[in-house]
Amino acid sequence: MIKSVEGNFDNPEVNELLTKHFIELRTASPEGSAHVLDIPGLKDQSIKFDENMNSDSDDFLIMDNGRIALKKITIPMFKKHTDVSIEASLVSVGDPWDKSAGIFLMQNDPRISSENPIELLRFITPFGVGHFSKENERIDEYRPVYIPKWEESISWTENITHLLPILEGEVWIGLWIDTWHKDGYSVSVDLNFIESDIKNHQKENLSLIPLKNTTNYFDADITKKHDFSSKDLNMKIELDHNIINAKLYYLTTGHGAHSEGDEFNQRDNIIMLNNEVLTVFDAWRDDCASFRRFNPSSGAWFEKTIWKGEEINERIASSDYSRSNWCPGSKVSPLVIELGDLDKGDHIVTISIPDAQPTTDEYWNFWNVSSYIVYDN
């Protein structure tokens, strides 16, 4: 008689079985063909602020007091067209706030590398999804009548097929949340590769040029961020050959939660190439109320409005308010700007946010901006 019982990663018998399986898999597989996460990589990852949480191993790192987790993985080289997507699922384990977050890639060891990380997915955590979703008297009072229940978790998916040129071989995948809470979040991340089964479906021959990422994952000091209120961000590109069909991928979010701050006020982002304006991007989201069901711990109050000719009080939550290209619970997709063909030589990409506000002793303001160029070979 065979008896089946549920196990978990805390069970030493489960760990022993998985370890044995991994060894046999790698022994039986050709070199470079055993694509499997080890036991730590199979767990949901906890991201929280803890001064004693840093850890260091050959292929798994916890940095910045628990706010960053990095995993070294080996990705196979695909021969045909391959669609790539990334998915993240999140539950608050106690943090009630909305926090900037993202998943990024580094090609070298984060402990010694000075490279600019490439963003795979940017998202903003909602207010308390999961931990605060259980009904109680206070939380139930905050739930609007049009929401049948609070969601227990939230997920985001982004198509990143254009990043396949850097998603090959040995890379580091990082997860960062700007949390300062001792309980933080539980997050799972999946990279999905679907290689075409169509005969002769050619793989796109692309290359990538990293530009700049001002998020500063590894340094929480806001004063070290680029100050768009005082100067533009200029990024020099040195091309040793002509490139064709170039596209600029640009991600931006504004932060500064006070009345005149960069979070709740519209600020144009001006993107230029060699001093010529490519586009003026209105970095603004006005659909934040659509994420209400993911924000159980968001503050709420009344605002006056007119209904059927009479003034009434209408309930509104903090998470409902429009923001600078993000909402609590939203992902942030890149703006794609066609650059066309670029000649060999030096080029300057400039980001200007003329109305950006400075960080002062009383208020902080900043923009998390990142960009890179993808082109055809």
Residues 78 and 178 reside in one and the same domain: yes
- 32, part of any domain: no
- Report d(CA 31, CA 35) in Å as an integer: 10
CA nearest to 162, candidates 281, 81, 254, 278: 81
Residues 143 and 166 reside in one and the same domain: yes
pLDDT at residue number 153: 97
CATH number of the CATH domain containing 259:
2.60.120.230
By the 8 A CB rule, do 138 and 116 touch? no
Residues 165 and 276 reside in one and the same domain: no
CA nearest to 77, candidates 4, 168, 204: 168
By the 8 A CB rule, do 200 and 318 touch? no
pLDDT at residue number 375: 98
Rounded (10°) CA dihedral 316, 320, 321, 325 = 180
- 298, part of any domain: yes
Residues 268 and 307 reside in one and the same domain: no
SS3 224: helix
- 24, part of any domain: no
pTM of structure = 0.87
Tokens of residue 297, six digits: 């711990």
Residues 185 and 197 reside in one and the same domain: yes
CA nearest to 160, candidates 189, 193, 132: 193
Structural domain of residue 342, as residue ranges? 205-286+322-377
Residues 92 and 150 reside in one and the same domain: yes
CATH number of the CATH domain containing 178:
2.60.120.1570
Tens digit of each residue's pLDDT, the chain (377 residues) = 444 444 555 566 655 665 555 556 555 555 544 444 444 444 577 888 887 778 888 899 999 999 999 999 999 999 999 999 999 999 999 999 999 999 999 999 999 888 889 999 999 999 999 999 987 767 778 888 889 999 999 999 999 999 999 999 999 999 999 999 999 999 999 999 999 999 989 999 999 999 999 998 988 787 889 999 999 999 999 999 999 999 999 999 999 988 899 999 999 999 999 999 999 999 999 999 999 999 999 998 888 999 999 998 888 999 999 999 999 999 999 999 999 999 999 999 999 999 999 999 899 999 999 999 999 99
Q: What is the CA radius of gyration of the chain?
A: 23
Tokens of residue 90, six digits: 């999140």
Rounded (10°) CA dihedral 49, 334, 210, 254 = -50
- 23, part of any domain: no
pLDDT at residue number 329: 98
Number of domains in the chain: 2
Residues 269 and 363 reside in one and the same domain: yes
By the 8 A CB rule, do 349 and 235 touch? yes
